[in-house]
Amino acid sequence: MSKTQIAVNTKFFSRTQAKGEMAHVMRLFAEDKNVLSPELTKHNFGTSDEAIQQRYSDAVGCMHKSAKNSLIDSLLVLPYEQVKVMQEECKRKGENWRKELHVAIEKMMLRMELELGFKPVGYKMHMDEGVRKEDGTTVLNTHAHLLFANYCDKDVTLTKTRKITQKDEHGKAMRDPKKPSKWLYELDEDGKPKTEEYTVDLKDKAPLSHHQGRGKNSAWAKQQDIATEHLAHLGFTRGTSAEVTKAKHLEKDQFIEQKLQKTLIAGKKAYEDLREQVLEQKAERAVAERKAEKALQLLGGRLEKVDEFIEKRSELYERAQREPDAMLKVEVDQAVDSFKTGVSDELKAKLQEQSEARAQAQNAQNSNAVCDFLGKTGLEAEEGEKRMLDEEKAKASKSSQIPSPL
């Protein structure tokens, strides 16, 4: 059912059962399990209790004792969403929505009487039933109980269709000898049972017994047609008949249980989605932690190398200061600057494989010993330094003053 579609669900009650049903409809019970709150009951409206009881009592007094059912309760379901829209629209037009709905319901009940023969005894619009959601909000199950007596006091004639049975020589309907519970029917050229129309005068009768048929032309489908016609101006539309959908009307407890079941299913799905997100986040976190651990290990090795070089660099400068060739100092400074820049770039690039410092140092003239130091162990670096200093001593012809390193 959409947010504008109405539905009409009809039930029948015997004289004994009718008392309890009418008490529920008129809210005569001290406590009613269907009511959400007594505060909401004051918003119910419809025919007065006295009028309903009097009309029903008068009809039962005229009813044949053979009538099994005395009360017909047609539940007119009005979607709460459209009820709210109707209220706002009537307010905008300066109309009273209760009065508009009251007039429409009374007219449709009179129309049902003229077409179906049921005697109207009154109605009650219930605004106090529904379901409470987990978030505390309330969705009302707004509906009206259209009450009829199973008695017709109007000149109402029904036109019905029936299959034509085969007759014996005495004019008596014949049964199928193979299946005695079934009748034999006259067939047309297509092999289908022939039909004929006949009329039924409902006045002073219990019309319910003549409306037990089902289908799109049944009294129950006609009730929904009539209701839709009288409520169309208030924004309501016709729902698909249960004769077509085969859907069953739910009682109050069943309605609430169904709503709660849907809420439970939705909550379970939300939980599963959240759980999946948490697991994904945990997996991503684990990967990130492994990467971070690996990066720290790599960084630790690099820092150790930097510390070693700084220590060796100080020793190198001290030795270079004692040598006469000023060019040695310049070449050493170039090698050191190249290494420092390479290490900085390497750290900023998140510890990528080797910096450009080594390549620059290896390509610099007269700095082979320093470059060898950058990629070797401490022992190899010392040997390289000694060779470098010996070579430079041989080349030096003059002493020069070498400033201290920064």
Instruction: List, in order of start, the domains of the chain with CATH numbers.
Output: 5-155+205-249 (3.30.930.30), 157-201 (no CATH), 269-395 (no CATH)
Average pLDDT over residues 11-30: 93
In the predicted structure, residue 40 carries a pLDDT above the cut 60: yes
213 alpha carbon, distance to own chain's centre: 38
Query: Tens digit of pLDDT for each residue in 188-215?
Result: 999 999 999 999 999 999 999 998 777 7
301 alpha carbon, distance to own chain's centre: 55
Average pLDDT over residues 379-393: 56
- Residue 377 is predicted with a pLDDT of 44
Query: Tens digit of pLDDT for each residue in 143-185?
Result: 999 999 999 999 999 888 889 999 999 999 999 998 989 999 9
Name residue, tokens 């070449």: 331
3-state secondary structure of 160: strand
375 alpha carbon, distance to own chain's centre: 64
**Per DSSP, which regions of 41-142 are E strands?**
45-46, 71-77, 119-126, 130-132, 138-140
The DSSP output letter for 250 is P
CA–CA distance, 294 with 353 (Å, rounded to integer):
14
CA–CA distance, 197 with 128 (Å, rounded to integer):
46
User: 348 or 150: which carries more pLDDT confidence?
Assistant: 150
- Name the pTM for this structure: 0.59
231 φ/ψ angles, rounded to the nearest 5 degrees: -115, 0
The DSSP output letter for 152 is -
pLDDT band at 101 (very low <50, low <70, confident <90, very high): very high
In the predicted structure, residue 339 carries a pLDDT above the cut 60: no
User: 50 or 338: which carries more pLDDT confidence?
Assistant: 50
pLDDT band at 391 (very low <50, low <70, confident <90, very high): low
**Per DSSP, which regions of 187-296 are E strands?**
195-201, 237-238
For residue 144, what are the contacts with CB-CB under 8 A and spacing of at least 6? Answer: 46, 75, 76, 78, 105, 123, 124, 125, 126
Residue 365's alpha-carbon distances to 335, 355, 371, in angstroms, are 10, 19, 10
365 alpha carbon, distance to own chain's centre: 75
Name the helix (H) or strand (E) containing 401: none
Name residue, tokens 């005068």: 201
Name the helix (H) or strand (E) containing 146: strand 143-149
What is the four-CA torsion angle of 18, 24, 29, 32, rounded to 10 degrees? 140
Query: Tens digit of pLDDT for each residue in 105-150?
Result: 999 999 999 999 999 999 999 999 988 877 878 888 999 999 999 9
